[in-house]
Amino acid sequence: KNQVEQSPQSLIILEGKNCTLQCNYTVSPFSNLRWYKQDTGRGPVSLTIMTFSENTKSNGRYTATLDADTKQSSLHITASQLSDSASYICVVRSGGGADGLTFGKGTHLIIQP
């Protein structure tokens, strides 16, 4: 069964600090991996997409990495801001199956002033 595990489940850091969120997956066949940001009460919004051949991709202060061999991805947030407080969801797309998407349960990030 395809699975996506995220850690930590929740995280509290001070404004200005950096943090790294983890995603481990067992999805086959692998197509791509996306990180979504979900603000409270809103729909998820895509931050980055990683394909099999990509190791790292940045979107402003967000940097995602992918190790396809170990089936791990991370999302690094630099110089955190209050607006970064949200849930971050790792989503892996497979080459087959229903919608082809396997969702992690998310990491709830709180930035404190």
Partner 1 sequence: DADVTQTPRNRITKTGKRIMLECSQTKGHDRMYWYRQDPGLGLRLIYYSFDVKDINKGEISDGYSVSRQAQAKFSLSLESAIPNQTALYFCATSGGNTEAFFGQGTRLTVV
Angle at 7 between CA 6 and CA 11, to 5 degrees: 130
Q: Which stretch binds partner 1 (CB under 8 A): 11-19, 22-30, 71-79, 99-107?
A: 99-107
Binding-site member from 49, 62, 68, 85 for partner 1 (CB under 8 A): 49
What are the contacts of 49-58 at 24+ separation with CB within 8 A?
none
Q: Which stretch binds partner 1 (CB under 8 A): 14-22, 55-63, 65-73, 96-104?
A: 96-104
| Amino acid sitting at position 110 | I
Q: Which of 30, 62, 29, 31 is nearest to 45 (CA)?
A: 62
| Residue among 34 and 84 whose Cβ is closer to partner 1 | 34
| Residue among 61 and 105 whose Cβ is closer to partner 1 | 105
Paired sense of beta strands 10-14 and 45-51, if any: unpaired
| Residue among 37 and 80 whose Cβ is closer to partner 1 | 37
Residue 78 DSSP code: -
Q: Which residues lie near partner 1 (CB under 8 A)? A: 31-32, 34, 41-46, 49, 89, 91, 93, 98-101, 103-106
